[in-house]
Structure 1
Amino acid sequence: MTIPMIFGLGMTINWLLVYTLKPRAWRKWLGLGLLIFGGIAMFKLRSQSNEASLSFLIAFMIGWSLFSARDRFALEED
């Protein structure tokens, strides 16, 4: 896959998760899991190709966006 395709796929997955995953617990734990996975993989596998590094960075950013917006739908649930 090329870098623009990886970036586009990652942003599509991010959009789908951020706007369709509504339970707070799922958003929190999936976000934390992706944050930890992406962070560790970025530093442990630094010598990999640009595509792999971008994939780990996108996983980290998806985790950050899910975790930081974990209360987005909390008002609608009450």
Structure 2
Amino acid sequence: MTERTIPNAATLSGWRKSSYSGNDGGSCVEVLDDYESGIPVRDSKNPKGPALVFGSDGWSSFITAIKHHLSQKP
């Protein structure tokens, strides 16, 4: 599968903070629902920067990895 990006994620509207982002304001990931060809993800601190577009399999792997990482925290 080819990695896809959106060069300027600010051109799209409807971004929401991921429920997996922490509440400390440091590392926030935003996702865009209902995008026609995958799940775009961007860094909320850089809204005009690129977004990485995950396919459904890639998104599932990403979420599984995040859940695993969070379960390892003390």
Q: TM-score range by the shorter chain?
A: 0.3 to 0.5
- Which has the larger helix fraction? 1
Higher relative contact order (CA 8 A, sep 6+): 1
Q: TM-score, normalised by structure 1?
A: 0.33
Larger radius of gyration: 1
- Which has the larger strand fraction? 2
Q: TM-score, normalised by structure 2?
A: 0.34
